[in-house]
Structure 1
Amino acid sequence: MSTTEQRVAVVTGAARGIGAATAVRLAAEGRAVAVIDLDEAACKDTVEKITSAGGNAIAVGCDVSDEAQVEAAVTRIAEELGAPTILVNNAGVLRDNLLFKMSASDWDTVMSVHLRGAFLMTRAVQKYMVDAKFGRVVNLSSSSALGNRGQANYSAAKAGLQGFTKTLAHELGKFGVTANAVAPGFIVTDMTAATAERVGMGFEEFQAAAATQIPVQRVGRPDDVAGAIAFFTGDDTGFVSGQVLYVAGGPLD
């Protein structure tokens, strides 16, 4: 068994969408995977997809914005799978609205899951990475980090994750730990379906309209993002850190 095959990966928000695709991709590359989501039962499909293909995965229920739950989850992962040295901070929520309609709760919820969650998860896992002198942290940003109408909270959180990523790269690099961010553009997920509903468009119509604005003339799929994440988690990417990779089908103006 190679060193890569022995790595333990943690993927948050992995019950569906980009997180599920990432968990499956990392498992296919030989990693044991902790599939984390708010509802442990919701992780069943992802775990079964991995184990039915001969992989090793466990489902873990955890609110990533809750400090005690995060500590308990990471301790359990270390005990059941081994020391986690790959972390993908993917968990996220939407509370879209125009600024004058956005409640303080809408703002706080998005910040708690995206930013506080990434902070708590990374803080809990980094000690295992430092001990192993190897670690890969990948944070999910978004093209919305550049600004997007109706997403003041989400855009600010995703921009914040880019700053968080670069700081981690500075602080943890000397321990063999890299930190990078992947920023998806339009990806077909439950979250983009919710955006279509918010703006009053059918999802198919919404996708078709988006595709006309993308240089490759199609919308993205979760597997497109999973491939980029997998690149950053590899053993041979130890000299790539502090980067933000936009997975958006073309350059963003």
Structure 2
Amino acid sequence: MSQPPLSAFSLAGKVAFVTGGAGGIGVGIVTMLAEAGAAVIIADREEAAARALAASLNAAGHIATAIAVDLADEASIVAACAEAIARFGTPWILVNNAGIQDRALLLEASAAEWDRMNAVNARGPFLLTRELGKAMVEKGEGGRIVNIATAGLRGSVVKGLAAYVGSKGSLLALSGISAYELAEHGITVNTVMPGAVATPGARNAKGPAPDGPARRALPLGPICEPADIAAAVTFFASPAARYVTNQVIAVDAGFSVT
């Protein structure tokens, strides 16, 4: 007898490691992966917020825990990955979601800000992919890596995002290389490109007021919610996407067609 079609989206028995899971888009991703059955590790610099979210999910009958990590610090990343593996076994899912998105106009931006943005948004995911990718290969059961980039890679969004979009361009390139090198191990690597999303991080980003194409009305209505991004992540993370790798989904409320 064939299984019900929705079983292809079940993550029961899987462990997911989500960076930046304690806030914004990360909360939506963590919540949906947990609802799909995964045991979720909320890896975040804001440890208190991560613990509070984990407690809330556990109270609702899901499985979640928190691990502190600073994506700008290689030693912190290595330690967090080792702790996750020691406590829960090798994650089957890695979601490189954490990122910073402060704005600075191109002609006023500093090298220090460029380096800070790239350290968190590009170098951090590289180190996590290296550490957890090695563990996935050693375990030999395949895996899923999902990287969160930006719809800004498909066209200008607002002014002041040179460092942010540059770092996400590096992340998208990393996705392609990772997909190629990890395919033989049954590990898929895909990318989600969010458009404007209603999050505290977006509202509170430092820098000049947002000005540019993203200010126009979107064809599908209001800006996205974290759950909209989480749905694409959950698909890529699921058994249903077993033959999907090196692919990109833009979740942007139709911004790309305007």
TM-score by length of 2: 0.89
Count of aligned residue pairs for this structure pair: 245
Identity %: 35
The answer to whether 1:57 aligns with 2:64 is: yes
Give the direction of change, closer, same or farther, for the CA distance of 1:240–1:40 in structure 2 (3 Å limit).
same
How far is the alpha carbon of 1:200 from its aligned partner?
7.4
The answer to whether 1:153 aligns with 2:153 is: no
The answer to whether 1:134 aligns with 2:142 is: yes
Give the direction of change, closer, same or farther, for the CA distance of 1:17–1:200 in structure 2 (3 Å limit).
closer
Contact 2:102 2:207 in 1 (8 A): no
Contact 2:152 2:165 in 1 (8 A): yes
Distance 2:12 2:133 in 1: 20
Report 1 or 2 for greater relative contact order, CA contacts < 8 Å, sequence distance ≥ 6.
2
How far is the alpha carbon of 1:191 from its aligned partner?
2.5
Please say which of residues 34-43 and 135-144 is displaced more in the overlay: 34-43
Distance 1:139 1:94 in 2: 16
Distance 1:187 1:197 in 2: 18
Contact 1:145 1:157 in 2 (8 A): no
**Partner of 2:17 in structure 1?**
10
Offset from partner CA, 1:48-73 (integer Å, 9 cap, x none): 22111111111111112211111111
The answer to whether 1:193 aligns with 2:203 is: yes
Please point out which of 219, 223, 228 is paired with 1:224.
228
Please point out which of 11, 18, 35 is paired with 2:42.
35
How far is the alpha carbon of 1:230 from its aligned partner?
0.3
What stretches of structure 2 of length at least 5 have no aligned partner?
1-6
Contact 1:144 1:154 in 2 (8 A): no
**Partner of 2:219 in structure 1?**
215
How far is the alpha carbon of 1:252 from its aligned partner?
1.0
TM-score by length of 1: 0.91
What stretches of structure 1 of length at least 5 have no aligned partner?
none
RMSD: 2.1
Contact 2:189 2:246 in 1 (8 A): yes
Give the direction of change, closer, same or farther, for the CA distance of 1:65–1:195 in structure 2 (3 Å limit).
closer
Give the direction of change, closer, same or farther, for the CA distance of 1:196–1:119 in structure 2 (3 Å limit).
closer
